[in-house]
Structure 1
Amino acid sequence: MSEPPRFDRGHTDDLMSFLAASPTPYHAVANAAERLEKAGFRQVAETDAWDGTSGGKYVLRGGAIVAWYVPEGAAPHTPFRILGAHTDSPNLRVKPLPDTGGHGWRQVAVEIYGGPLLNSWLDRDLGLAGRLTLRDGSTRLVNVDRPLLRVPQLAIHLDRSVSAEGLKLDKQRHLQPVWGLGEVRDGDLIAFLEESAGLAAGEVTGWDLMVHSIEAPAYLGRDKELVAGPRMDNLLSVHAGAAALAAVAGSGADLPCIPVLAAFDHEENGSQSDTGADGPLLGSVLERSVFARGGSYEDRARAFAGTVCLSSDTGHAVHPNYAERHDPTHHPRVNGGPILKVNVNNRYATDGSGRAVWAAACEKAQVPFQSFVSNNSMPCGTTIGPITAARHGIKTVDIGVAILSMHSVRELCGADDPWLLANSLVAFLEG
């Protein structure tokens, strides 16, 4: 047996750059698309007629991207190998009337998106980024990546009970960031963003904006064997998926399947949107790919019956301070390789046959993997996996990378695991 692949820190370096450059789902899909473009992929519009030519293609819709590579000679009934992930992370998002404040402070009104660890947003230097919609219907990405906002915590002198009773945050009253001093004036924030984006005053008529920490990702630990950074849940999987798809497309291998990357938005609040996993986007792309190659509904059914999807999302590494919260016989460790996620109540989609598919991919890539199940006394989270399986009737397996501090502004993973995940994804996408 040949030697297993050696860890390549260049992949993790690139992940850190990807995280820093992707403060929102819109930036994440733009950056993933840029990487795929360099690998020869070309964007196709959903409003255009599609052809059945071979090669790499992708569709962008808001904060979602679906990319696929059609090998030479692919039949209409050729099955798909799909890597599913999501682009969104829990955070603070700007309300429709953003300008607020009082007592000499100017603040930004925000709403809580998903389930963030609220205390992790306190006393951090925060930027502001997102998507601006202009009068002509076009959109413009904006990213103010400098200290602009801050959610100041109350001094302990004014809340002596916090040491004994713990921090209690009211989502409406305590999470509104400050961004200046003076009188509150309606329209100030959007006018500031128009200027930042080089737009004329009054040109912006809609916005999807969110707050992000400006602290850069960094290696951590005595031997720099850890990585701390934002939005690993789940841009770590998006980055690995884009890298794996580009590698497979450029390998020249004779593929028995059509490899696909499907990175959805809105997983953190239920996936029910036109860009979420519970929407029609993936099914529409797959069907149109079959029909563009001259396929029938019968070909579509055959292709879907042979399709397998990996739902890749972060999972929980055993926490040294809270080991009792984990199942006593399943303790995934960072840098131990990606994890297979199992829940018999279908919070994850993995079954025994799916495990065999995953095990085969890891064996081919010579990558170790671990298993995760929740402690029976703890509720289990979920992913896009069960949604994808139920909506499209395709075999789905839940996997990912074990991390600490999930849903914090700054999460923690092993420096080896992103590269190990990407290698296993290459083997899977090759079929």
Structure 2
Amino acid sequence: MFQKILIANRGEIALRVLRAAKELGIQTVVVHSTADADAMHVRLADESVCIGPPPSRDSYLNIHQIVAACEITGADAVHPGYGFLSENAKFADILAAHNITFIGPTGDHIRIMGDKIEAKRTAKRLGIPVVPGSDGAISDPAEAKRVAAEIGYPVIIKASAGGGGRGMKVARDESDLEVALATARSEAGAAFGDDAVYIEKYLEKPRHIEIQVFGDGMGKGVHLGERDCSLQRRHQKVWEEANSPALNSAERTRIGEICANAIADLGYSGAGTIEFLYENGEFYFIEMNTRLQVEHPVTEAITGIDLVHEQIRVASGGGLSVTQDDIHFNGHAIECRINAEDPRTFTPSPGTITHFHTPGGLGIRVDSGVYSGYKIPPYYDSLIGKLIVHGRNRVECMMRLRRALNEFVVDGIKTTLPLFQELVNNPDIANGDYDIHWLEKYLAKTES
């Protein structure tokens, strides 16, 4: 087991990893920017190292500073959390060259899954169902028209190196296609430094279902069920739940086994999430995230398995602590992402939190790194906390969530709490009757 882990992140995820490390008896080091000097994870860590000014490129994305912090403190492993350098293959390779363990997959696996075209090819080879579309990158309008005609309109053009909805354009017929192709390539080049795009069939009313997987890097793999992440705004997840209201046990078992077998065949090490669009009983692979997800607590709630403990165990060479037969799903869990944003316009709302009170009671968990008097900096992601609620079934979970949201108090800044207080009382949400477009349609309707 590791002696000392450096946590290369900030906010609630840095605190989440720090707690797991302490429970395992491992010393902790955190890095931070000057803007985060008073952050909770800095206060609670055994050691902390300031690695630069507020801009991420000068601090949390500064690989050389983070490696130097490892060497100064004697850290023998790095946990990247999510975001920042968590899916940076170069970072994983550099750590390996310095004999520091990256708590995550190999650089090669990060590279494969970070390239959406190569990821789709790999998924297809591993027996994972994929969305019909082009076999590779497309730049020629004539070739784009041929592929679109073959798979049928509407189609969606996606950036190969993309994420977060950037470099994505829908073409509903041939007259839209050429402009959509050029626009997507331009956006992809500007956002990712790579203008490669590909074409897929556009599904009209899908759900976003993701499967949590774990591999030991030695040919064994398991799945820990699915999460339904269909409530989204501009391709950003807002509300996640497990199990999905849309799946039955047979579908859950079928897609879970496919993913677990694929991870084993790939020789993958650590936590990963295989993401699908789901429509009319069919799953279509869209991407794989080679890291811990923001929404991992809902999986922990229904399985009782600490995913960060598992990450650390696997990275240290200890293998998986469970087999597939050991994993059981109990009850229902929902996570709401509480952001420092206006609940209607989603404009960021940095500032000082004057009062912070979290709900409590059976089945309630709040992952947050903020406190009363904490100043939300304007430089980073607006997530200030996650409310995770577990119940014996979905009805009990929703009732508990409604109560917890009414107890949650954050004063001094605007947050998205009022939006969740609306959603938990909406009949479509209560019935689990929503898709990836539902939230944006709801917001547009309530604003008009």
TM over 0.5: no
Structure ranking higher on relative contact order (CA contacts 8 Å, 6+ apart): 1
Whose helix fraction is larger, Structure 1's or Structure 2's?
Answer: 2
When the two structures are superposed, what TM-score results if normalisation uses the length of structure 2? 0.25
